[in-house]
Structure 1
């Protein structure tokens, strides 16, 4: 007995130990799973799902950007005349002449001052106080969301982050006469840190909002930081890019003293004739997500960021002087982050400012990294977008990314312009690198297309990023759209001028599916106060209608009007008899399981009261639509089925209204009548009409006011049993 008592006393502690061990093992498994998830997220590619931009030469989007860059167009003009600059007195050929510059041209955003303040709910005073860089960043961020098929209104309250590279802080509007609050507006409007915060505030985004100023590398560093934040779960999406507008000519004057500007204003990247940089303006924004998230949400992936890195020159041969070893280190770190070897990368979009000092140092760093250990027949191909659009400073890194994404998608590498010969200050034989002096096709060479992007700041902060073409996805089988399908192209804007401009841009989109365009316009854009719809059954009809809208003219299938700009309420209207046609609902029975299921329920509910098959009638197998006791129940069923389809897509009405037999469908959909009761009402009502009224009269619908109609039928008044009026004027 004593022995058994001892065993019982020992069993309790043993059970506690076993339970503790089990709990410990479970916790260990949980931690391992959590660490695995974190490790996977840290290495996951970042998807670029949308891009928007504005650069010199009339570039208003990635398509314009690619056209200009691939054509090597010249985007330079004289100094802008609307910024208060002394355009005539600014030029002097002597670099040492105080207060002047020997450069006559730059690549400017000549419409940088244009801003639709009311569109964003910003007062004219506040808009005047805002740096144009903030204005441009806000507008392009909006466009970036819409280009992803995301209504900007729909992301309010979401955890989207904003990462913006902004360098210049020289905007000083003349606000004399305004005191107090106006001075606060000016302080906020010209503060670099507010640039990202204003985008987040205006769009209602609650993720991190960070403004980056590392000089020329600002926007590429911003994209790197956004990618890191996505991998750490700090936000689920991120807007990242940069904005540059020069409010004063200070950059032209100051760098002229240093003889750091090209005399003709153009960057001659990596060229023997390189004589300095060329100042330019621009703004570019990307929308980023983790690749797995982008796929879950069904967003188009334009390209992926495989890896990136940022570092600093540290104590080197000068604060602003490029540091070759530091550039080598950041390239190697980016390759390691991407899990790639140098030979896995085909091309690099270089910093390439065209300076006598910087370009040779950069090429030597590339030769020491990408140029080693690769097949001489497949050298690294080097280019720089600055040779076309200029050095856009805070927006230069994102310009390089946009160019690389477009190159990946088009399978082509544009030429680097203004190259008489590769710079002789570099021993090009020290590695396998070739300068892109002409455009090339971009083959895959046994692996996905990949390209690096470099951006080095005068602050000493360097960034390098490796992009890869979007992974192939299994094609989704889709039914071809009907050749004669008619679609509504819905266009809206805040002003009539903006509406016309948008219509003009849509008319030039080119070979795009009308159905795809219509779907994007309806679901992926904000609904604003100025509205129009072009109903088109072909590309020609769509272009004709859109061009007419752009010119402010009328055209068949074009309707326009005004709305409140606020999201409206949804009301479903159920019509009476006369709106049906043979074959109505037949195609939906085959392509919509929701519709087919609801029709089957209607057929069951009607079966007790009718001697015909609803499905046979809808499919046209029973020619009974000339009978009122068939057409009304069939129309009722189609309306109830359509309501189910809309509900399955997330569209719920605030109210329903019906006319004549449509009242029965409306009552059923609203829940006032059960399906069984509604089926009984519509069946017996239509049978009563067939038995007592059919063949004893006629009906006409007239587009006249009640007064006009009454006057016209007065001679036959005795023959009319009823003269209902549906409104002051039906049409």
Structure 2
């Protein structure tokens, strides 16, 4: 007897009269014996299997956990982490289908073959089974017309040792200088840069290579292949939610949006492709800047990565507010991140004679002599005012309005156009 879907099946008639040396069996036919108390005494009819599950008093989450353990070759009582993804527990496409088959036979509820991908944890798959067993009542879309957009949480990292909004306030209030010499922890050829760059200063985040990969359930190998911009945005997004009084772990499956401004940092060119192959595509993709946050927290609202150069973070907030106003999401993370993995910006602007020699910007001042480059990451949590009041979130600011346009033709591709900028300001006002 071999076991199929948790039920004892006599396979002898199938192989009777066949030459065993010539028969190629599918691998799933030789997996270790399954044991479910009582199941071997019944036929595998869905209704009866489901009735056994109900009469036993086990919750659907217990049934999913036990089934997952057995498919992985463990004892049914093995304590699997119900919040870890099936992929992290060791499932692949084949064992995922096997788990689907076993759950169908035990509960009588039909599941898609992609169930472990669509509902990637024990808890979420159990919730889906409960929803399939008891049809959900459709919810009416919220009326969000005229509901102001408010800021209820924020977090950041900036040069000058800034690790939170209070630190940023102190930096500004004390008129401190956040610039410093080129970093020594990024493998840059500092001797060569001293010769070819018009400046040797900029604004750099400290400990940019520090990341608690285990906290976000990311392997060390994948973490090394991941752009520091993704890592920092993930950490600061978590901090912004906590600052808003929201447990990030409670947002899985909710229509929470992520809107992140970023640009290509060049990090992928610095790491070993042979050692990190398989992770570099997602580790360096611009689209994954926002997608990484959505995946790690299980968010199901819009996830949009924005690259409109210097305005990226503001455009991300504009898009987040629009999504909240139209009901595409109930909560939104918005902001941006910049990490200079390579010194190319300094070299390029030196060639254009557009770099300030002391690395400092003096906007609108007669002494301005070029740009200065700096890093940073900032995330705000946006919500409709009615939701903020209902959820008891402190309102830190009101986002009255926003507008977006493009300069169009001007004296060069990167040169600003005054009338166009005046128009977008009037439009927002």
- TM-score per shorter chain, which class? 0.5 to 0.7
Listed as ranges, the matches of 1:457-496 within 5 Å are none
Structure 2 residue 370 is the aligned partner of structure 1 residue 267: no
Q: Which structure: larger Rg?
A: 1
Structure 2 residue 189 is the aligned partner of structure 1 residue 86: yes
| Aligned equivalent of 2:157 | 54
Structure 2 residue 161 is the aligned partner of structure 1 residue 67: no
**1:91 Cα deviation after fit:** 1.5
**1:59 Cα deviation after fit:** 0.4
Tell whether the 8 Å contact from 1:45 to 1:307 is kept in structure 2 after alignment.
Answer: no
Listed as ranges, the matches of 1:319-338 within 5 Å are 319-335=413-429
In the aligned structure 1, how far is the partner of 2:406 from the partner of 2:278?
A: 35
| Aligned equivalent of 1:477 | none
What are the ranges of 5 or more consecutive residues in structure 1 without an aligned counterpart?
1-33, 93-99, 336-731
**1:319 Cα deviation after fit:** 1.6
| Aligned equivalent of 2:216 | 120
| Aligned equivalent of 1:245 | 339
Listed as ranges, the matches of 1:280-679 within 5 Å are 280-335=374-429
Q: Secondary structure at the residue paired with 1:177?
A: helix
User: Which string of whole-angstrom CA distances, capped at 9 and with x for unpartnered residues, describes residues 204-249 of structure 1?
Assistant: 1110000000011001000000000000000000000000100000
**1:44 Cα deviation after fit:** 3.0
In the aligned structure 2, how far is the partner of 1:246 from the partner of 1:69?
A: 23
User: Higher relative contact order at CA 8 Å, sep ≥6: structure 1 or structure 2?
Assistant: 2
**1:184 Cα deviation after fit:** 3.1
In the aligned structure 1, how far is the partner of 2:181 from the partner of 2:283?
A: 27
Residue of structure 2 aligned with 1:174, choices 255, 260, 271: 271
**1:70 Cα deviation after fit:** 1.1
Q: Secondary structure at the residue paired with 1:63?
A: helix
User: Which string of whole-angstrom CA distances, capped at 9 and with x for unpartnered residues, describes residues 275-319 of structure 1?
Assistant: 111100000000000111111111000000000000011233322
Structure 2 residue 253 is the aligned partner of structure 1 residue 157: yes
TM-score, normalisation: structure 1? 0.39
| Aligned equivalent of 1:229 | 323
User: Which string of whole-angstrom CA distances, capped at 9 and with x for unpartnered residues, describes residues 249-268 of structure 1?
Assistant: 00000011112111100011
In the aligned structure 2, how far is the partner of 1:328 from the partner of 1:111?
A: 39
Equivalent pairs counted in the alignment come to 289
In the aligned structure 2, how far is the partner of 1:142 from the partner of 1:317?
A: 42
What are the ranges of 5 or more consecutive residues in structure 2 without an aligned counterpart?
1-139
User: Which string of whole-angstrom CA distances, capped at 9 and with x for unpartnered residues, describes residues 543-569 of structure 1?
Assistant: xxxxxxxxxxxxxxxxxxxxxxxxxxx
Tell whether the 8 Å contact from 1:52 to 1:61 is kept in structure 2 after alignment.
Answer: yes
Tell whether the 8 Å contact from 1:169 to 1:192 is kept in structure 2 after alignment.
Answer: no
Residue of structure 2 aligned with 1:191, choices 285, 296, 310: 285
| Aligned equivalent of 1:368 | none
In the aligned structure 1, how far is the partner of 2:224 from the partner of 2:360?
A: 32
| Aligned equivalent of 1:9 | none
In the aligned structure 1, how far is the partner of 2:219 from the partner of 2:359?
A: 37
**1:42 Cα deviation after fit:** 4.7
Across the aligned residues of Structure 1 and Structure 2, the Cα RMSD in angstroms comes to 1.6
User: Which string of whole-angstrom CA distances, capped at 9 and with x for unpartnered residues, describes residues 649-707 of structure 1?
Assistant: xxxxxxxxxxxxxxxxxxxxxxxxxxxxxxxxxxxxxxxxxxxxxxxxxxxxxxxxxxx
Residue of structure 2 aligned with 1:278, choices 364, 372, 378: 372
In the aligned structure 2, how far is the partner of 1:175 from the partner of 1:300?
A: 45
Tell whether the 8 Å contact from 1:169 to 1:191 is kept in structure 2 after alignment.
Answer: no
**1:104 Cα deviation after fit:** 1.0
Tell whether the 8 Å contact from 2:355 to 2:372 is kept in structure 1 after alignment.
Answer: yes
In the aligned structure 2, how far is the partner of 1:145 from the partner of 1:132?
A: 20
